[in-house]
C-alpha cells in the first residue's frame, strides 16, 4: 500500500521572474529524450540505495520504498534542448527524506546520482535538500511511463532537466564533485536555466 500524501501538502517549486528562462520555448507536449534504450525493470529485483559518505547506508526494496512518506510538487520543466513545460504535478518521496534516514557525514558535499545502465549525473547535496526535489513515481496523477523514468525518477526543478535522472537507483554522497554522463560530454556542471548554463566552455 502506498502511504497517501495529504492533498494539502502540494509544494509549489519557487518561480523566477520571468517564468520562462532565456532561450526557452513553451510546449504542452512532453518530449521523450535520453541516451540508450528504455531499460526493462524487474520490480522484484529493484532496489534504491543511499551510500558513500553516510552514517547509515540505506537500501529499500520497491515495496519498502512505496511505504515512505510521500509529497507532491508542482514545478516547471526546462530542457537544455530549449523546450519548457509548465505545471507538472509530481508525486513521490522527498530526497531530503531518504538522505535524512541515511544521515550524511559532514564532508558529504556532493552527490552522484546513479541510474540504470550506468547513467550518472552530479549535484551539490544542498540542492538535493531543497523541499521541491523528489524521487517521483507519478506525474499529473498517473504512474510515470517507462519512457519518462518508471519506476522512479529524480526531479530537480531548478536545474535543466538532464539532472533529473530517469530510472534512478542510488544516490552516492562524496566529498569532491564528480561530473556525470552529460557533464563529461560537454554539458555545464551547474545547469541553472536562468543563467543559461547549457554547455561548458572547453
Q: Does 119 interact with Mo ion (rule: CB under 5 A)?
A: no
Q: CB neighbours of 142 closer than 8 A, spacing ≥ 6?
A: none
Contact between 84 and ligand MTE (CB under 6 A)?
no
Rule CB under 6 A: is residue 32 a binding residue for ligand MTE? yes
35: contact with ligand MTE by CB under 6 A: yes
Does position 162 interact with Mo ion (CB under 5 A)? The reply is yes
Q: For residues 179 and 189, is the Cβ–Cβ distance under 8 A?
A: yes
CB of 142 to ligand MTE, least distance (A): 13
- Choices 15-23, 32-40, 91-99, 193-201; region in contact with Mo ion by CB under 5 A: 32-40
Which is nearest to 121 in space by CA: 183, 167, 190? 183
- The most distant pair of C-alpha atoms in the chain lies apart, rounded to whole Å, by 49
Q: Supply 35's cell numbers.
A: 541516451
Buried/exposed code over 53-72 (b: 16+ C-beta within 10 A; e: otherwise): bbeeebebebeebbebebbb
- Asked if 26 touches ligand MTE (CB under 6 A), the answer is no
- Scanning residues 58 to 117, which ones bind Mo ion (CB under 5 A)? 80
Residue 173 beta carbon to Mo ion: minimum distance, rounded to whole angstroms: 25
Could you say whether residue 48 binds ligand MTE (CB under 6 A)?
Answer: no
Question: Using the rule CB under 6 A, is 34 a contact of ligand MTE?
Answer: yes
For cell 509549489, the residue is 12
Using alpha carbons only, give the angle 178, 81, 190 rounded to the nearest 5 degrees. 30
Q: Does residue 122 touch ligand MTE according to CB under 6 A?
A: no
Binding site for ligand MTE (CB under 6 A): 30-35, 79, 115, 119, 148-149, 161-162, 164-167, 182
Amino acid at each position: 500500500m502506498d502511504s497517501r500524501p495529504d492533498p494539502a501538502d502540494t509544494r509549489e517549486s519557487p518561480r523566477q521572474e520571468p517564468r520562462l528562462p532565456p532561450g526557452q520555448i513553451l510546449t504542452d507536449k512532453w518530449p521523450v529524450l535520453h541516451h540508450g534504450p528504455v531499460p526493462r525493470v524487474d520490480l522484484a529485483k529493484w532496489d534504491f540505495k543511499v551510500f558513500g559518505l553516510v552514517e547509515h547506508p540505506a537500501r529499500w526494496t520497491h515495496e519498502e520504498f512505496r511505504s515512505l512518506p510521500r509529497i507532491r510538487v508542482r514545478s516547471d520543466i526546462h530542457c537544455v534542448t530549449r523546450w519548457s513545460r509548465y505545471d507538472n504535478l509530481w508525486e513521490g518521496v522527498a530526497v531530503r527524506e531518504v538522505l535524512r534516514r541515511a544521515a550524511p557525514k559532514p564532508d558529504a558535499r556532493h552527490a552522484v546520482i546513479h541510474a540504470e545502465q550506468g547513467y550518472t549525473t552530479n549535484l551539490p547535496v544542498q540542492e538535493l535538500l531543497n523541499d521541491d526535489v523528489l524521487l517521483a513515481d507519478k506525474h499529473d496523477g498517473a504512474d510515470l511511463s517507462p519512457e519518462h523514468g518508471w519506476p522512479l525518477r529524480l526531479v530537480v526543478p531548478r536545474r535543466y532537466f538532464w539532472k533529473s535522472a530517469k530510472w534512478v537507483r542510488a544516490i552516492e554522497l562524496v566529498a569532491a564533485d564528480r561530473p556525470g554522463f552529460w557533464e563529461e560530454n560537454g554539458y555545464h556542471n551547474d545547469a541553472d536555466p536562468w543563467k543559461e548554463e547549457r554547455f561548458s566552455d572547453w
